[in-house]
Amino acid sequence: MKKIKIGKLEINSYVYIPPMAGVTDLAFRKMIRFFDKETLIATEMVSSKALMYKPDQPLMKLSEDEHPVGIQLFGHELDVMAKAALMAEEKGADFIDINMGCPAPKITKGKDGAALMREPDLAVEIAKSVVNAVKVPVTVKMRLGWDDCQKNAPELAKRLEEIGICAFTVHGRTREQGYTGSADWNAISEVKRVVSVPVFGNGDVRNPFDAHKLLEITGCDGVAIARATMGEPWLSKQINEYLKTGFFSPEPSLEGKIKLALIHLDELINIKGEVVGIRESRRHLINYTKGFPNAAQLRAKIGQVNSRNEAIDLLSGLTKKDFCEIN
Ligand SMILES: Cc1cc2nc3c(=O)[nH]c(=O)nc-3n(C[C@H](O)[C@H](O)[C@H](O)COP(=O)(O)O)c2cc1C
């Protein structure tokens, strides 16, 4: 497979872990880096407008040893997006990603996120002002279009490439679909066919076999995997191994997963304090213990955990006891 180059940024990975609001924070990215130093990764989306009022957004904080990492911005005002991009570049982002895919009504009711796909002229102007503002490569994350009647991803991508966008991530659903149905990998290939910069195909990749299949169907340069990495920070490494060699390392044992869950918990507490850290850790702890015996019961217990000690007692107890006796 050909090495991926995003502008001047050369990537030693075929995997991109794209933004997930409330998930791809510093702690999560650190967990990914335990396993995989090379995979492309991005922050949660950051509001360009909010940056104008509160420039020191924790969402934009990067650590020195996590590169290559991008900062994703959303917004629809040219000068605001340009200023925000400069700020993101100053924070050390290796690339700036523009969000043209978020389907959440609170984002699209302005002209942000996926709403930009309905306003292609504005989308191109925004991208141009960001490209002109920064030296690092600028990428765009998009969906297939607004709805079934307006699947304009290929036309828009072509126009964006012409003004200097260096790579695309295409989620194979429309805004209208949200997360329902399944991602249309064939439709992603239509974007790949019309641009010559790298394209990351995205949607419903859960394991190395899916990744291989998506690349085969779409002809994409790489694969973007979001939800499946939650509780499985080793996944990008496995996928790269499989794409490069046809083999991949086994996932960690149950004990290993518990250790990882506890490390993730401590990272969150270190960064956000115990109250917020515990609250935000619950979804991650549930993901690490996916598929454990008595998972439903365990999930309910994790949902009630209120302190680091409670979390440690519950999770480390799992390695000692029979899983059938977790209550
Ligand atoms: C909890 C969550 C938060 C997300 N936040 C963002 C975001 O901030 N920006 C963005 O472009 N996409 C966001 N996405 C979309 C994902 O990046 C990805 O496109 C989508 O989940 C499909 O990929 P998957 O099937 O591998 O999960 C989010 C998805 C989830 C599940």
Residue 43, phi then psi, degrees to nearest 5: -70, 180
Q: So what CATH class is 254-325?
A: mainly alpha
Question: Closest Cα to atom 22, ligand 1: which residue?
Answer: 203
User: For a substitution probing ligand 1, which of 20, 39, 112, 141 has the most ligand atoms within 8 Å of its CB?
Assistant: 20
Q: Which CATH architecture describes the domain 4-245? A: Alpha-Beta Barrel (3.20)
**pTM confidence score:** 0.96
Torsion of CA 28, 33, 37, 40, to 10 degrees: -10
pLDDT tens digits, one per residue of 76-113: 999 999 999 999 999 999 999 999 999 999 999 989 99
Please list the active-site residues. Answer: 102
Q: What residue type is assigned to position 152 of the chain?
A: N
Residue 70 Cβ contacting ligand 1 at under 6 Å:
no
pLDDT of residue 320: 61
Looking at per-residue pLDDT, the higher value among 325 and 274 belongs to 274
Ligand 1 center from residue 19 Cα (angstroms): 6
Check residue 110 and give its pLDDT.
87
pLDDT in tens, 160-200: 999 999 999 999 999 999 999 999 999 999 999 999 999 99
Ligand 1, atom 14, residue with closest C-alpha: 20
Query: Please, what is the average pLDDT of the chain?
Result: 95
Q: Residues 288, 314: contact at Cβ < 8 Å?
A: no
Cα distance between residue 242 and residue 316, in whole Å: 32
> What is the CB-side half-sphere exposure of residue 10 using CA atoms within 13 A?
3
- In the chain, what are the domain boundaries? 4-245, 254-325
Q: What is the per-residue pLDDT for 208?
A: 98
Ligand 1 neighbour 113 (Cβ under 6 A): no
